[in-house]
Amino acid sequence: MRRQHLALEAETIALIEAEIVNMALEGIAQQALRAAHPTLGLGGPTIGWVHAAFRLMRAFAEPDYPRAIATPTLVIASGADRVVDTRSVERFATRLRAGHLIVIDGARHEAMFERDTFRQLFFKAFDAFARGDEAEPPAFTAPLRAAT
């Protein structure tokens, strides 16, 4: 038993080390990109951005707002988001007439700036949606219908 436990610990440590290296490399790459092209970096929100965000949050909270959207819409939420309340995203998405919700479990606020695993799930869902595939990507998406 102890030997199996140690093997599991070694495997877990190896995964954690790989993740740390991956995160460090991504951070270095992002810093290098920002240094070479400062206009591509993300900064803090502006007053205009905050004003627009609050205006849109009020609109999104209206029950009829999402029901009026007839365009097929893909909503991707991060399951471990600490910035945006995933339950609020789910409530909004369930009221869309032609909406699909993807919740990427374990991902934080911005799935495209996450680990490769989360980015792959994001792009798999996006590509399927963009192609108009009827089949849903398994295990992390569910078609939604407007509440009646």
pLDDT value of residue 115:
83
Report d(CA 88, CA 58) in Å as an integer. 12
- DSSP states of 3-46 as a string? HHHHHHHHHHHHHHHHHHHHHHHHHHHHHHHHHH-GGGS--PPP
Residue 104's Cβ-count burial label (10 Å; 0-12, 13-18, 19+) is: buried
- How confident is the chain (148 residues) per 10-residue block, as mean pLDDT? 48 60 66 76 80 87 89 91 88 90 88 83 89 58 38
pLDDT value of residue 4:
45
pTM of the model: 0.61
120 phi, psi to nearest 5 deg: -65, -40
Report d(CA 62, CA 112) in Å as an integer. 29
DSSP state, 132?
Answer: T
Tell me the sheet residues that pair with 128.
none
Pairing, β 141-143 against β 99-104: antiparallel
pLDDT value of residue 68:
92
Report d(CA 8, CA 138) in Å as an integer. 28
